[in-house]
Amino acid sequence: MTKAKVQNSKQQIKLVFGERPEGSFDVERLVEELGLELQALTTSAGVLIMTGIMGQERDCLAGKRYDRTTSTDRWGKQKGYVIAGGQKAPVNRPRLRDKNGKEVPLSSYERFQESSQRTQAVFQRLVSGLSCRNYPQAIETIREGYGISKSVVNREMVDATSNRLKELCERDLSEYNFCTLIIDGVSLGDSVHIVALGVETTGKKAMMGFREGSTENADVCIALFEDMVQRGLKTENPVLVVIDGSKALRSAVDKFFGDRASVQRCQVHKRRNVKKHLPDKYHAEYDRKMLAAYKMTSYADARQALESVARELERLNEDAAGSLREGMEETLTLHRLEIPRLLRTSFSSTNLIESAFSRGRTVMRNVKRWMNSEQKHRWIATALLEAEKKFQKVQGHRSMAMLVNALELEQKKRKLESNRKVA
């Protein structure tokens, strides 16, 4: 590093933070204000800036070279390191001593050695698709860098993913005003996890939680809802629940929401289930016919078109026709509520949560061998929260007020029907 570069670095720092009175040096503020900028710079530039900051602190404490008026003396330099770019980078750190010969530590040097900076850098690379196994070879190399070991990466990732698990599982759901829940399962290794995603009345999405187990397991579905209710999920308001058609999950929805829930069966799952009963040569034809029916605006037209498809299927395979008719009414819930097309498209399937799974797989694929449930839980929580960072409002969110009104009207109708039956 040339003297000209160091001098230029000092000048840049002074331009950003201004001149400071001699003997005063606000390291805490300086480092925190530099935090994101240091991460954005290349590793070598980061080391250059850190070296300049340590030099400035030395000058503030000991004065300029040959200055004998301060209570602290310069004591040469010593080889050391800072954390930059997710690895250790060697630097020559300034040393200081007081008049009694006691070492005076540089607070900036201690801050630049904090492992939290390294953990954050490593973590961001891992969740972006880099595996622990390949990390030491893939991280950017800087001159004379001596890196970090796999064991250190693994230990720090356990801590980081544990924090993500705690963040998701202890999230206070009472702070959210959810009007839509989307629930589906995702495979992880040889197990399945049920995941719940909520959509607020503003159209904003948020991960709500998960449970290990199949959607066909009633106990697991109930445990998921119980956990969300304990964390503040409001069940007294009307809600739209989008599910894949699982009977156990449907039963759990009835238990916790009663007549306040309007269930929308996933149309994609329905089309997929029907095609399982047909020879491959009929898949494209009948998938096209079912999709055309679901795209119709009118509830009556859509239902009539699906009934027509079901009659055709009876001639090919009665099981296929039965699969289409089973729960067909709930695949048209949004049609019946007269929800605008764009918002209806968003909530007519579990694609919103499937999209989160797709983003999350980039994170979860880093693990080559699943050891136990605790490890799976840490990583699936990490994956879901990373996917959540890129969430945007649902398409058609400007019509969310219409959905809320329709759900409230639907609940009133059910109450009236229930009162008539009792009478």
Query: pLDDT tens digits, residue range 37-63?
Result: 444 445 666 777 778 788 888 888 888
Strand pairing report for 261-265 and 239-243: parallel
Per-residue pLDDT band for 421 (boundaries 50, 70, 90) equals confident
Contact 84, 43 (CB under 8 A): yes
Model-wide pTM > 0.75: no
* pLDDT for the residue 399: 93
Indicate the range of 119-133, 186-200, 234-248, 380-394 predicted with least confidence: 119-133
CA distance linking residue 108 with residue 150, whole number of Å: 27
- The residue with tokens 């490890």 is 375
CA distance linking residue 295 with residue 341, whole number of Å: 8
What is the extent of the structural domain holding 187? 173-422
Alpha-carbon distance values, 285 to 168, 190, 269, 280, 281 (Å): 43, 34, 17, 10, 8
Per-residue pLDDT band for 201 (boundaries 50, 70, 90) equals very high
Q: Is residue 339 located within the same domain as residue 215?
A: yes
Residue 252 has pLDDT above 50, yes or no: yes
Q: Is residue 75 located within the same domain as residue 216?
A: no
CA distance linking residue 17 with residue 122, whole number of Å: 29
Per-residue pLDDT band for 17 (boundaries 50, 70, 90) equals very low
**340 contacts: CB under 8 Å, gap ≥ 6:** 396, 399, 402
* pLDDT for the residue 82: 79
Q: Could you tell me what percent of the chain has a pLDDT over 70?
A: 76
Domains identified in the chain, total number: 2
Is residue 74 classed as helix, strand or coil in its secondary structure?
A: strand
Q: Per the domain annotation, does 164 fall within a domain?
A: no
Strand pairing report for 178-188 and 72-84: unpaired
CA distance linking residue 252 with residue 368, whole number of Å: 34
Our separate counts of H helices and E strands in the chain read 18, 7
Q: Per the domain annotation, does 85 fall within a domain?
A: yes
Alpha helices in 231-372 (DSSP H): 247-257, 267-275, 283-294, 299-316, 318-325, 333-336, 341-347, 351-364
Closest CA to 273 of 224, 216, 320, 337: 320
* pLDDT for the residue 193: 87
Alpha helices in 18-149 (DSSP H): 27-40, 43-62, 107-112, 115-127, 135-138
Q: Looking at 114, 138, 162, which one is the last position of a domain?
A: 138
Q: Is residue 184 located within the same domain as residue 270?
A: yes
The two structure tokens encoding residue 13: 């720092």
Residue 341 has pLDDT above 90, yes or no: yes
Q: Per the domain annotation, does 154 fall within a domain?
A: no
Q: Is residue 94 located within the same domain as residue 195?
A: no
Per-residue pLDDT band for 420 (boundaries 50, 70, 90) equals confident
Which residue would you say has higher pLDDT here, 294 or 108?
294
Q: Looking at 93, 116, 138, which one is the last position of a domain?
A: 138
Q: Looking at 111, 138, 165, which one is the last position of a domain?
A: 138
CA 333 to chain centre: 29
Residue type, 269: H
Q: Is residue 131 located within the same domain as residue 201?
A: no
Q: Is residue 239 located within the same domain as residue 370?
A: yes
Per-residue pLDDT band for 121 (boundaries 50, 70, 90) equals low
* pLDDT for the residue 142: 35
Q: Could you tell me what percent of the chain has a pLDDT over 90?
A: 35
Neighbours of 60 (CB within 10 A): 18
Q: Is residue 329 located within the same domain as residue 193?
A: yes
Q: Per the domain annotation, does 159 fall within a domain?
A: no
148 backbone dihedrals φ, ψ, rounded to 5°: -135, 160
CA distance linking residue 347 with residue 350, whole number of Å: 7
